[in-house]
């Protein structure tokens, strides 16, 4: 079938994919733009998976300071070559991730970084809550597993919905860019700073210690 230039343009605007890739996707899906979007995403996931094991020893360290100077992020994202590290698409991705971290405040990169004691503490809370609701043991297990999964998705960067497009996670955003740019990309580390964060807790602890001494 004949694919119009207008339809190809529409698909390109939705996906940022190349002209020929868009044209092929539209032919494969009978000219259906929405199906073509899915086709390209699936193709991207496949291509990205082949690059996932490749070494990422280049990249950039990027700093983001939110207007007003009260919130900032320091982020390292790696790629395979210095050429890509200077690529506009790669830099744009890094900026998007930094702004997402500033907005959403993830505590960890992935689940593997979450301390076991943190997971067990949360799990204990959910178990107590579920049991107090009078649910059967089997139901309690499912409730706890569901709440724990939701908790981890909320604190791990790679599993958080991308703030600019909640239909995809940060990990999916990276995978799409791996397919588009042609190199493996990985977030290595990040730190988020917020003025005054944590000081309230220290002050409360100090006041409790004073009260204890006076009591």
Residue 194 counted as domain residue = no
pLDDT of residue 176: 87
Alpha carbons 28 and 53: distance in angstroms, whole number: 29
* Residue at 27 is within a domain: yes
Describe the crossing of helices 19-28 and 5-15 by its angle, rounded to 10 degrees. Answer: 110
- Burial class of residue 163 in the structure, from the number of CB atoms within 10 Å of its CB (0-12 exposed, 13-18 middle, 19+ buried): middle
Q: What is the mean pLDDT of the chain?
A: 85
Q: How confident is the model at residue 16 (pLDDT cuts 50, 70, 90)?
A: low
For the entire predicted model, the pTM comes to 0.69
Among residues 30, 51, 72, the one where a domain terminates is 51
Domain CATH number, residue 137 = 1.10.286
Report yes or no: 60 and 190 within 8 Å, Cβ to Cβ. no
Range(s) of the domain holding residue 133: 115-153
* Residue 175 domain flag: no
Domains identified in the chain, total number:
2
Better pLDDT: 16 or 197? 197
pLDDT band for 25, please (50, 70, 90 cuts).
confident
């Amino acid at each position: 079938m004949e694919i119009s230039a207008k339809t190809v343009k529409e698909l390109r605007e939705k996906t940022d994919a190349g002209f020929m890739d868009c044209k092929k996707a539209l032919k494969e899906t009978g000219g259906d733009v929405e199906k073509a979007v899915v086709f390209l995403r699936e193709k991207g996931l496949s291509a990205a998976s082949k690059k996932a094991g490749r070494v990422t020893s280049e990249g950039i360290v990027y700093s983001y300071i939110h207007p007003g100077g009260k919130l900032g992020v320091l982020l390292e994202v790696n790629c395979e070559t210095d050429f890509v590290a200077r690529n506009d698409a790669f830099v744009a991705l890094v900026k998007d991730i930094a702004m997402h971290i500033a907005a959403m405040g993830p505590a960890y990169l992935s689940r593997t970084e979450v301390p076991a004691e943190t997971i067990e503490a949360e799990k204990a809370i959910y178990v107590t809550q579920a049991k107090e609701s009078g649910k059967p043991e089997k139901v309690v297990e499912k409730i706890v597993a569901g709440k724990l999964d939701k908790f981890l998705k909320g604190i791990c960067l790679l599993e958080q919905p991308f703030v600019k497009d909640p239909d995809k996670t940060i990990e999916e955003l990276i995978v799409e860019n791996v397919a588009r740019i042609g190199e493996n990309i990985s977030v290595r580390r990040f730190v988020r700073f917020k003025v005054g964060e944590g000081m309230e807790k220290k002050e409360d602890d100090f006041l409790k210690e004073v009260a204890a001494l006076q009591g």
